[in-house]
Amino acid sequence: MQNRFYPIITLSVIFFAFALALTVYAGIPLQSAIIWNVLSSLDVIYYTLPVSYASNAMIFAASVLDVFVFVLTAVWLAGFVFGFVKDIDLKGKIVADKIKKLHGHVIVDPYNAFAMEVIRELREKKIGFVVVTEKEKIAEQLIREGLLAIVKEPDSVDTFYDAGINNAKSVVVCSDSDFQNIMISIAAKSANKKIHLISRLGDQSNTGHMEMVGVYKTVSPEDAAGKQIAEELVKKIV
């Protein structure tokens, strides 16, 4: 939580504590006082005290403090959410700027266990790359590790534009599904007809379909595919 919210939160807690103390001092049992002040601070009219505002100045003062607590809580919650969204957007812009500066990099799409092997080899060979994933948590983890990742649909043309395909050397297609690999390859070729495609292949009978959509090389079996793809990329790039 950002430090700038601490004074507001602290003030909210102080006001709530005073409101609770006044309610208890007015003769309301502690448990009932807590429930009433919490609901009152949330602007929820659900629990009614046996004492009216008009007949007890303590209850009136407590209700006023609860209003302040409600306002302050709304302010810091709104600020926290806005700041969180802004931070996410800032990280996205930083990643986008770094991708624009890449040349001759590899696009790994989508992220999975297979892609992890490819990434490991690319990092070892010090080849730049961008990872495509549909999961924000995975992208955040990769970015924390110093890698470039974007949260996009794996088979969208726009995804490849965002991944800098016009400056990329190759695309490694990593889906578990041959059909999706074909769709990803079509999208990549639509974004850049000259892009070099290497795809994972599960069923040898789909080799012809891969070639038809522009796949330069297919790699299998599963247990060695990641290393084979990385080695093939190194040969092509170097």
What is the value of pTM for the model shown? 0.61
pLDDT at 209: 92
Pull the structure tokens for residue 235: 């040969």
By the 8 A CB rule, do 59 and 49 touch?
A: yes
List the chain domain ranges: 3-93, 102-237
Rg (CA), the chain: 29
What does the mean pLDDT of the chain come to?
82
- Give the dihedral of Cα atoms 207, 212, 215, 220; nearest 10 deg: 0
- 108: which strand partners? 131, 172
Averaged pLDDT, 148-168: 95
Cis peptide leading into residue 110 (ω within 30°): yes
Determine the topology of domain 3-93 in CATH. Helix Hairpins (1.10.287)
Q: Assess whether the region 3-93 and the region 102-237 belong to the same CATH fold.
A: no
In this predicted structure, which of 8-22, 38-52, 107-121, 154-168 has the lowest mean pLDDT?
A: 38-52
Peptide bond into 221 cis (omega under 30): yes
Task: Select, from the ranges 73-77, 81-85, 206-210, the one with the highest average predicted confidence (pLDDT).
Answer: 206-210
Fold for the domain defined by 102-237: Rossmann fold (3.40.50)
pLDDT at 177: 93
CA-based torsion, 154, 93, 138, 101: positive or negative: positive
Between residues 185 and 217, which one has the greater pLDDT?
185
- Model confidence at 113: pLDDT above 80: yes
Q: What is the pLDDT of residue 1?
A: 45
Tokens matching residue 5:
């919210």
